[in-house]
Amino acid sequence: MLKSDRWIREQAQQGMIEPFCPELVRAVEWNGQMRPVLSYGLSSYGYDIRLSPVEFKIFRHVPGTVVDPKRFNPKNLEPVELHHDEMGDYFIIPAHSYGLGVSLERLQVPDNITVLCIGKSSYARVGLIANLTPAEAGWRGYLTLEFSNASSADCRVYANEGVVQLLFFEGDPCQITYADRQGKYQDQPQRVVVARV
């Protein structure tokens, strides 16, 4: 069953999402004025998390290399500079490229819940696709977020603003949680974590 705002709020008070915003934020004060933001916080049946300003990396072509999830070469990623202007803090994802960021919020998923991370429509409408990824029962840490710029133009992705929505699904209790089996992405720091085997 998909969990509602009431349940998400109750679980957040027990540490499921930190920091937690109990309402959907669409504008913030900046230089004495209200500035619109890509919404973040609690919605009716989900929670919009923010992109951390700490780190963002894009894939680059390294001649003679192939991206391999079993033997990932960190040289295939390069850091992207955080920019600032009156619209906010942002990273730029070049046209037809792929980038990795990290969530501002830390999650601690209950043992009977699986979380799906889906893209926001404002980004989808400009060609930025967030990969659909799960956070399994018992997982905890900062999510590494994956984005593909499918458009023919460079795209801004805003830090400290909503970037993906989390949907929380309750199931029958599982026999072994992600924490129990010591999953390879458990306790991720607020840094980009590359593919592991």
Q: What is the dihedral of CA 130, 1, 105, 150, to 10 degrees?
A: 0
User: Given 29, 55, 86, 146, which residue is catalytic?
Assistant: 146
Tokens linked to 39:
């919404």
Residue 10 DSSP symbol: H
Cis peptide before 19 (omega within 30 of 0): yes
How many other C-beta atoms can be found within 10 angstroms of the C-beta atom of residue 1? 8
* Share of the chain residues as helix, strand and coil, in percent rounded to the nearest 5: 10, 45, 45
105 is catalytic: no
Catalytic residues: 146
